[in-house]
Amino acid sequence: MSNQKKYDTAFYEKITNDEKLKKANEFHELRTAFMIIENKVLYLTNSTMTHYEWAQSLGLAMNCFDEITRGFVNDGFIVFYKGNFDYDDKIIEDANTYAGKIAKHCKLTSAKVYVGMKIGKIGEKWSPNKYLFLI
């Protein structure tokens, strides 16, 4: 009986993890991801890849990944961050410099611009840290 209970628990944990992964993949696929590399904005759409996986696929030096300005466009807002979804003065400067160009590329007539993300649970919606301005 105890083996049956362990199996059931593992089965339901797997379903829960699969659902979280499915929701995370849905988010990644719906958003337009961007990275700013050598003053150029690169875009990734219709993909479940994370920024890290995308950077690897581009052959970028992964020891510098935490310093790359990156972010996403979704639901009428643009979020910039680096590292562990953090921001600093450089990220704010990049947001001021590139938000208009990103909005134009994504055909947005207006967008709320944020920096940083409050890390939540995988599969749940995360909130941005700091509002900067409206385009």
Domain spans of the chain, in order of start: 2-134
Mean pLDDT for 100-120 is 96
Mean pLDDT for 27-54 is 90
Please give the Cα distance from 101 to 107 (Å, whole number): 10
How far apart, in Å, are the Cα atoms of 54 and each of 10, 69, 112, 115? 31, 13, 25, 21
The string of pLDDT tens digits covering residues 45-102 is 988 888 998 999 999 988 999 999 999 999 899 999 999 999 999 999 999 999 999 9
pTM: 0.83
Asked whether the beta carbons of 100 and 135 are under 8 A apart, the reply is yes
Mean pLDDT for 22-40 is 83
Asked whether the beta carbons of 130 and 88 are under 8 A apart, the reply is no
* Tally of CB atoms within 10 A around 130: 14
Q: Band of the pLDDT at 27, cuts 50, 70, 90?
A: low
Q: Which CATH architecture has domain 2-134?
A: 3-Layer(aba) Sandwich (3.40)
Please give the Cα distance from 27 to 24 (Å, whole number): 5
Residues 6+ apart with CB under 8 A from 68: 35, 36, 37, 51, 55, 60, 82
Q: What is the mean pLDDT of the chain?
A: 86
pLDDT of 24 above 70: no
